[in-house]
Amino acid sequence: MGRKNKILMEIFESLAQTFGQQHWWPAETTFEVAVGAILTQNTTWNNTILAINNLKTSGLLSLEALAQVDQSILAEKIKPAGYYNLKARRLQNFLGFIMNDLGGRFDALFQGPLAGLRENLLRIRGIGPETADKILLYAGGLPTFVVDAYTRRILVRHGLVSEDDGYDEIRDMFMNHLPDDAELFNEFHGLFVRTGNLYCRPKPRCQGCPLEHMTNSYSGEY
């Protein structure tokens, strides 16, 4: 599949070798995945779990309950995830789309051509490209690539994308040079998150990164 494919697969193999299977995303249901995708926006996974657990113990983690609960009550429940007023609104925007536009059928989010499904999600206030791709890939099992802050930072530090490349450019790079494989995309993103968490912080703290040996393209920020 070309040179870019080789580089990307080398990165994937190197990380997979080091960290093994990630089997991301940890959740009991696909609905929980989608809710978690919104709650985790610009927030740590740990804080997201606290919020999800509050929803579970309050019996709010279902289509009907989440669609109907008072927004201020919802906000209180998800407080640990931060931006709670904003995210309560975003969750209910998402639920409104499912109830009003999909007739309450959550699975309809994933039925039809990928591009159209993604556009539908992007029209919802509070769902941007990363959240849309997370929902489609991790809840729907559809082959779309998730680009997050870690993915971007790792690629920039390896000189594979430029600082000002947009979300879709980076996503396209993966999708144009890798096979259309949801399992691969799923694992790849999980591995980027793991690597980013451990080794690729804003202030370079890259010692011991499994990708350290690919020094030919390092830009000197290491």
Partner DNA sequence: CACCAGGCAAGTA
Partner DNA sequence: TACTTGCATGGT
- Residue closer to DNA, measured from CB, 3 or 23: 23
Does position 58 interact with DNA (CB under 7 A)? The reply is no
Binding mask 63-102 for DNA (x = CB under 7 A): ----------------xx-xxxxxx---------------
Does position 32 interact with DNA (CB under 7 A)? The reply is no
Does position 130 interact with DNA (CB under 7 A)? The reply is yes
Q: Which of residues 162-181 bind DNA (CB under 7 A)?
A: 164, 167
Select from 18, 47, 58, 62 the one that contacts DNA (CB under 7 A). 47
- Of the candidates 160, 149, 165, 162, the one whose C-alpha atom is nearest the C-alpha of residue 201 is 149
- Residue closer to DNA, measured from CB, 47 or 62: 47
Residue 27 CB partners (closer than 8 Å, separation 6+):
33, 36, 52
Instruction: Supply angle C-alpha 46, 134, 9, rounded to 5.
Output: 100
Q: Judging by beta carbons within 10 Å of its beta carbon (0-12, 13-18, 19+), is residue 154 exposed, middle or buried?
A: buried
Calculate the dihedral angle through the C-alpha atoms of 176, 179, 182, 186, rounding to the nearest 10 degrees: -80
Does position 15 interact with DNA (CB under 7 A)? The reply is no
Select from 11, 34, 117, 148 the one that contacts DNA (CB under 7 A). 148
Percent of the chain as helix, strand, coil, to the nearest 5: 65, 0, 35
Select from 42, 207, 215, 219 the one that contacts DNA (CB under 7 A). 42
Does position 37 interact with DNA (CB under 7 A)? The reply is yes
Number of residues interacting with DNA: please give it, by CB under 7 A: 45
**Cβ atoms 35, 91 nearer than 8 A:** yes
Calculate the dihedral angle through the C-alpha atoms of 78, 84, 90, 93, rounding to the nearest 10 degrees: 70
The residues binding DNA (CB under 7 A) are: 24-25, 37, 40-47, 50, 79-80, 82-87, 122, 124-132, 134, 138, 146, 148-150, 164, 167, 189, 193, 196-197, 201-203
